[in-house]
Structure 1
Amino acid sequence: MPHPEVPAPRAAVPEGDRIEILGGETAYWTYGPSDADVTVLAVHGFRGDHHGLASIVALLPEVRFIVPDLPGFGESTPLPGRRHDIDAYRSWLIEVHAAVAPAAVILGHSFGSIVASAAVAGGLPTSRLVLINPIGAPALEGPRGILTRLAVLYYRLGARLPRPAGEWILRQRAIVRGMSVAMAKTRRRDLRRYIHDQHDRYFSRFADRDVLREAFETSVGNDVRAFAPAIAQPTLLIVAERDDITPLAAQRRLQTLFPRAELVEIPEVGHLIHYETPGAAAAAISRFLAPSAAGTR
């Protein structure tokens, strides 16, 4: 189902490219002109894949985007012999950046904001950083902390049951739909249908329950605050007025932890900026990248 307002972007290679990173195979998709002034390496959120950022990519056709699937999600394989913790994700992103886009600006959405921040704080050499719906406080303390605690129990159950039963529960469409309904803030029926369709299609494309559990534990056990003070690069925080994971007050506090951060607040939207208000996000990113275009080739 297409977005009701934004056409899907066309990848240079529709089926994606592949590269070996840390012993696993990372799939990635490239969009936009090969001679673009700016290249952005974008990291999607928890349980998603590269499709999640498609609307923002489509609204910035002058930018070259490279969007990989996180290890163990979408078309990317898990990282063999490694626990999928913050150190593994940080090392993975640093290696991807060096291999496919060593001058790229880094963008992260939601869980991707944690991965991106950890990598940049850990020495990934980027000129700028963009974080959409950053996880700016512990998820268990968010406005819907009770739902996060229920999610913890859900993923623990999926890990402890016999593997077939655990995998079945973790891929349950009803659970995915419940999460989708809870996060969507728009009242537009066509947009809600699109959001639910995206989650139904792509939120169960994980390799196995072990990868999913480890990624979930990493997502709730870390947040951007720990990395912000070590990020000297100009940073753009695109945040939502009604985010159920990190409230607006916490996002404003997060801004003060960065040496050089700009905060853009989008009203009447929650944790799904990339689906509900991609135009506002794309406009903010365009403004943020424009002054540095000559230096990010």
Structure 2
Amino acid sequence: MNTTHPGSGTPGFISADLAARTTARTMDLDGASVAYWTYEPVQVQPGTRTILVIHGFRGDHHGLLRVADELPDMRIIMPDLPGFGSSAAFPSGAHSVEQYGGFITAFMEALSLGPDTVLLGHSFGSIVASHFAARHPGAVNPLILVNPIAAPALEGPKGIMTRLAVLYYRMAAHLPNRAGQALLRNPLIVRIMSETMAKTGDRELRAFIHGQHHAYFSSFADRDSLLESFTASVSHHVSEVAAGLKLPVLLIAGEKDEIATLPDQHKLLALLPDGELKVIPGVGHLIHYETPEPAARHIRTFLKDHPA
């Protein structure tokens, strides 16, 4: 049974109009509580679509609010993935890409979301969304990937940093609980991560981004589920299933993305049977925070070109 909570908006870089479109609910799914938010269109139009959004690693639905704000003509549904935000961890089984795919299936069935549902994934969410779409042809249409993880994280120039991150999460999982939690939620480490990924020179926007990361980056259920999710995020990528994605796919990439690099996006594009790549200049891995307007514009154009 669903329960409704008051909608809320984030001040500053998110309009008050979004709060008026918002309904927050929870549902019990396979024995665990799942929190999700629905953003209704201001006015239903011929091009209005339902977009199911899958957020990135250690994020929750808050990260995509600026994109939702820029799409007032769309119905957008954003769950907190199991183990993150306000959603409980999976009661059994690993927090793997396959298990998250099963979550999408159950979630869509619970809300009666049909095959005209648009599936959008950001970062780690791009892995989950693409693997789901490849394993379940016809379940969604089309597919939109923002800052897609196009190549193996353990290979190439970023491989060393990824291995250091693996050690960080493993160390946190094996320390005594209080010490491990403190390491994972250390505000200095969160700030360094935030400073590294933000590319904007706008002071107020940078402050907003850092505030978002400090507020929500540590909203995870427990250390074990976090380690499992991180392992999934660095063990898979979109290119693994690219050839099996028979539906139209939009890639929205950041010119300065150091996690999902631009050369890898072009390689991914070449593997897709029906792909399109849009590159946003001057931004890195935080398209959803820094450049939601052009991202929304690309999404709207793509959906116009691929109607239900």
TM-score (norm 1): 0.94
Q: Give the percent of matched residue pairs that are identical in Structure 1 and Structure 2.
A: 49
What CA deviation, in whole Å up to 9, does each residue of 1:36-91 have, x standing for no partner?
A: 63000000000010000000000000000000000010111111111101110111
- Number of residue pairs matched? 292
- Per-residue deviation at 1:150? 1.7
Paired with 2:141 and 2:20, the residues of 1 have a C-alpha distance of 24
Task: Give CA-to-partner distance per residue, 1:132-184, whole Å, 9 cap, x none.
Answer: 00000112335443322221111011011112211121111111111101111
For the 8 Å contact 1:43–1:67, the answer to whether it is kept is yes
Amino acid at match of 2:193: M
Post-superposition Cα deviations, 1:84-130, rounded to whole Å, max 9, x if no partner, equal 01110111112212222224100000000001011111106111000
- Secondary structure (helix, strand or coil) at the match of 2:154 reads helix
Query: Which structure's relative contact order is higher, taking Cα pairs within 8 Å and 6+ residues apart?
Result: 1
Matched, 1:123 2:123: no
Partner of 2:232: 218
CA shift for structure 1 position 3 = 4.4
1:244·1:270 contact (CA, 8 Å) conserved in 2? Answer: yes
Q: 1:249 aligns with which of 253, 263, 268?
A: 263
Give the match for residue 164 of structure 1.
Answer: 178
Which residue number in structure 2 is paired with residue 2 of structure 1?
A: 11
Deviation by residue 1:225-265 (Cα, 9 ceiling, x = unmatched): 11111111101000111111121111000011111000001
Aligned partner of residue 278 in structure 2, secondary structure: strand
Structure 2: gaps spanning 5 or more residues = 1-9
Matches within 5 A, 1:149-188: 149-188=163-202
Alpha-carbon distance in structure 1 between the residues aligned to 2:290 and 2:237:
23
Mapped partners of 1:11, 1:136: distance in 2: 36
Residues 1:106 and 2:119 aligned together: yes
* Contact 1:111/1:219 (<8 A) preserved: yes
1:275 aligns with 2:289: yes
Match of 1:54 among 43, 49, 65: 65
SS, match of residue 67 in structure 1: strand
Instruction: Tell me: CA distance 1:267–1:65, structure 2 relative to 1, closer, same or farther (3 Å).
Output: same
Q: CA deviation at 1:270?
A: 0.4
Give the letter aligned to residue 39 of structure 2. Y
**CA RMSD across the alignment:** 1.6
Is the 8 Å Cα contact of residues 44 and 73 (structure 2) preserved in structure 1? no
Q: Which amino acid aligns with 2:79?
A: P
| Conserved? CA contact 1:128–1:235, under 8 Å | yes
Change in Cα spacing, 1:59 to 1:13, as seen in structure 2 (3 Å) is closer
- Which among 201, 204, 208 is matched to residue 194 of structure 1? 208
Q: Does 1:40 align with 2:51?
A: yes
Of 11, 15, 21, which aligns to 2:29? 21
Change in CA separation of 1:21 and 1:257 when aligned onto 2, cut-off 3 Å = farther
Give the gaps of 5 or more residues in structure 1. none
Distance 2:180 2:101 in 1: 28
Q: Secondary structure at the match of 2:19?
A: coil
TM-score, normalisation: structure 2: 0.90
Q: Give the distance between the partners of 1:121 and 1:86, measured in 2 at CA.
A: 12
Could you give the per-residue CA deviations for residues 23-48 of structure 1, whole angstroms, max 9, x where no partner exists? 32211100023856300000000001
Q: Distance in 1 between matches of 2:268 and 2:34?
A: 31
**Counterpart check, 1:31 vs 2:42:** no
Distance 1:207 1:96 in 2: 19
Match of 1:146 among 145, 157, 160: 160
Q: Judge which range, 36-45 or 50-59, deviates more.
A: 36-45
Q: What residue is the counterpart of 2:96 in the other structure?
A: 85
Partner Cα distance (2:99, 2:196) in 1 = 30
Please report how far the alpha carbon of residue 211 of structure 1 lies from its aligned counterpart in structure 2 after TM superposition. Answer: 1.0
